Amino acid sequence: MDKKEKMQIVIKFLREKYGEDVKEILKMKTNVFKLLIITILSQRTRDENTRKAAENLFSKVSKPEEILLLSDKELQKLIKPSGMYKQKAKNIKKLCKILVEELKGKIPRKREDLLKLPGVGNKTADVVLCYGYGIPTIPIDTHCNRVPKRLGLVPQNAKLEEVKKLLEKIVPEKNRIIVNIGFVKFGKNICRPIKPYCHICHFKKFCNYYKCHT
């Protein structure tokens, strides 16, 4: 079975398992600025920490101009639950200044322009493109990196950008959002980093990790 055949099986399963989740997400009206800030807050922290920091921040402000009116200490206190809050606050302030003074408040729609913003890396840029603007791309987080490697869809030694490019070669544009959401949920619930539930995995018949660890 080649990688494209494996991917077809994976997409079919993910669509059946998580398709309703995708529909709900697509129904939501996305505030691209808030999405960008939340994704920066999510870097190297747990989802619950991100949610708390985002709730704190957006209960006080909603626009880049309003963030710029906060003192550094105020901003740091609001986003402290997210961890690395001093660096994140510094990047958020710089980013908001650029948005207000140079970009007229508009979040870039091109990856290369997003990557020029402080605190914005590849995953953050791709999240904004995918979920903010509906551009078909696959943001690579820890789950979207681990799961396809275990399944043998990409090489074990592939770097994050290579994982993204290789996946996008075998995943049609219309299925990229289900692959991203599906891998994240599947990676959290089944294909966990430690003690994955291989015995109930739908993919064990062709999973490289299962073959090597059972």
Full pLDDT tens readout for the chain, 214 residues = 899 999 999 999 999 999 998 888 888 778 999 999 999 999 999 999 999 999 999 999 999 999 999 999 999 999 999 999 999 999 999 999 999 999 999 999 999 999 999 999 999 999 999 999 999 999 999 999 999 999 999 999 999 999 999 999 999 999 999 999 999 999 999 999 999 999 999 999 999 999 998 7
Q: Where are the beta strands (DSSP E) in 155-208?
A: none
Asked if 181 contacts 21 with a C-beta cutoff of 8 angstroms, the reply is yes
Which DSSP letter does residue 110 get?
Answer: S
Q: How far apart are CA 69 and CA 194, in angstroms?
A: 43
What does the pLDDT read at residue 15?
96
- Could you count the other beta carbons within 10 Å of the beta carbon of residue 198? 17
What does the pLDDT read at residue 29?
76
Kindly list the structural domains of the chain, giving each domain's residue range(s) and its CATH number in brackets, ordered by start.
3-27+137-213 (1.10.1670.10), 32-133 (1.10.340.30)
Look up the pTM and report it. Answer: 0.94
What is the DSSP secondary-structure string of 108-161? PSSHHHHTTSTT--HHHHHHIIIIIH--------HHHHHHHHHHTSS-TT--HH
